[in-house]
Amino acid sequence: MAEVIKMPKMSDTMTEGVLAKWHKKVGDKVKSGDVMAEIETDKATMDFESYQDGTLLYIGVEEGKAVPVDALIAIIGKEGEDYKALLEAPAAPVAVAGDSSSKEAAPTATPQTATATSSTPAAPVEAKPKVDKSSIPAVVIRMPALSDTMTEGVINKWNFKVGDKIKSDDSLADVETDKATMEVVGYEEGTLLYIGPKEGEAAPVNGIIAIVGKEGTDITPLLQDDAPAAVAVAADSSSSVPAEATATGAEAESDGPSTADDSRIKASPLARKIAKEKGINLNDVKGSAEGGRIIKKDVEEYVPAIKAVAVAADSSSKETAAPQPATATPSTPATTSKAPVIASYTGEEKFTEKPVSQMRKAISRRLSESLFTAPHFYVTMSIDMDQAIAARTRINEVAPVKISFNDFVLKACAVALKQHPAINSSFLGDKIRFNEHVHIGVAVAVDEGLLVPVIKFADGKSLSAISVEVKDFAGKAKSKKLQPNEMEGSTFTISNLGMFGVDEFTAIINTPNACILAVSGIQQIPVVKNGAVVPGNVMKVTLSCDHRVVDGATGAAFLQTLKSMLEEPVRLLI
């Protein structure tokens, strides 16, 4: 009996998948375990294996197309078997046709409306037969979800232009996500027929960014049928980067010095928008792009020379005006003491504005949700680091890599978390998940914000292994090479500002973790030992806790265990 193959849910955040490539075609024999296709999820491109034996009777999704989880993508059965009844099931039209099913229903109702109201001009247009997109030799490339929190991506750079020949493994563009700048691969061969968002513009996840196909193909039906997505691209990007389609309108509506005399100047829409906001005449700006075209950078870096003149003129007028009161009253005795002249300073009010990056948007959204959703409380403890300092010195004399204090803290946290499962947990609404594995996120500062790579199964790794992995992740983070799977799955997070000499601070919980540890610098202060005041090395740590999961006593108990580990580092080896 024929069986329906549905789009699998390959990750906990996946809502749809893109058929990147079919490895089988209709009529091929399929065995259980055979790789049928490659599916692009929200996190990676993965192989999809068959769990049935039989013949591939039907393929419902073209390569490059996205369908929701549980949608019909194929049918396997006996050779020659009638499978059409499976396509006529209630869910089949949605799974096979996607969002076009509702549109195909429209023409059946339109002729009735046209006969009832023949004067309605829109009826003949609606009555036109729908174009069969499957017959168009072109494939739409959409903005992929390159991370679990990504809602839109900014095209940093196009590696090809319209008319170029594209191979299936070519990197079409560099896309800035909320976590990193990553490559987008088209998985198609042909000619680049269309580019949607320009460099610097944003497109929502699943929005059309390009079309690849046979040279000379009319792609208008593909763009018309996806008009809502195109509108979404323009609307979503308008908050940070103006859509190219609105450039003409922006020029017509703008006023002031930025547009009165510069309508013929070659400039990008974003450059015009910024110039209008700042009152800059584009005639005064030198373009750095091809053909002298003015771009965003040119406007932001432009410094008007006239302001300096105005400042000088303003100050000179004050200097010439100052002596007048003395000459205006000749009867004033010459011996009268003059009031001291206080020099005045006239400055220039200046500021620079930059669009919010994808990473900063994600940080803003996620940390706001965490702080205003999870009731935070904080527990601080001081730790004597004398023994840790001595142990680190001895270890680094023989270790293959240099061990940092952060490595000590990470290892101690990993061991302590196994003893305090409530700290290694997550609040999931109607249940609490107590993680038996220990995956520790390490906050790494980069120019655009903060990234949190994850050291997985940290409790089972040596100090040397932890040190190597942390250094590798830090290098990848600063060069924007971290992959989404390297930043997912944390059960606890550490934020260390000790290298900046910070005395004490608190951190916002990295949800869905229940806790985050803020680590400060080691300070040399007087301490009391054996009844005497002696020099000591003290480090303060602050645990931020989600009160929905962790109580004060639980957080304090965890810190006591952590303190004992760091004050007697030999316990880390047991």
Which residues are tagged catalytic? 547, 551
HEC sequence for 255-295: CCCCCCCCCCCCECHHHHHHHHHHCCCHHHCCCCCHHHCEC
CA 325, CA 87: separation in Å to the nearest integer? Answer: 97
CB 442 within 8 A of CB 470: yes
Chain Cα centroid distance, residue 251: 31
CA 494, CA 453: separation in Å to the nearest integer? Answer: 11
Neighbours of 460 (CB within 10 A): 11
Closest CA to 186 of 200, 165, 204, 202: 165
Handedness of CA 393, 395, 397, 401 (dihedral sign): negative
Strand partners, 527: 534
- At which residue do the structure tokens 């302590």 appear? 416
Q: Record the tokens describing residue 102, joined without a space.
A: 């509702």
CA 56, CA 74: separation in Å to the nearest integer? Answer: 8
- At which residue do the structure tokens 């200097």 appear? 319
Handedness of CA 425, 426, 432, 437 (dihedral sign): negative
CA 481, CA 358: separation in Å to the nearest integer? Answer: 16
Q: What are the two backbone dihedrals, phi and then psi, of residue 454, each rounded to the nearest 5 degrees?
A: -120, 125
Give the side-chain half-sphere CA count within 13 A for 255: 1
CA 234, CA 350: separation in Å to the nearest integer? Answer: 31
Edge-to-edge strand list for the sheet holding 72-77? 3-6, 72-77, 54-59, 29-30
Runs of H (alpha helix) within 291-421: 296-300, 305-321, 324-328, 358-373, 386-398, 405-419
CB 282 within 8 A of CB 267: yes
Q: Record the tokens describing residue 522, joined without a space.
A: 């080691």
Q: What are the two backbone dihedrals, phi and then psi, of residue 119, each rounded to the nearest 5 degrees?
A: -80, -10
Closest CA to 206 of 132, 134, 99: 99
Contacts 24+ apart (CB under 8 A), 132-136: 133/100, 133/221, 133/222, 133/225, 134/62, 136/213, 136/217, 136/218, 136/219, 136/221, 136/222
Q: Record the tokens describing residue 140, joined without a space.
A: 């739409």
- At which residue do the structure tokens 């608190």 appear? 506
CB 237 within 8 A of CB 248: no
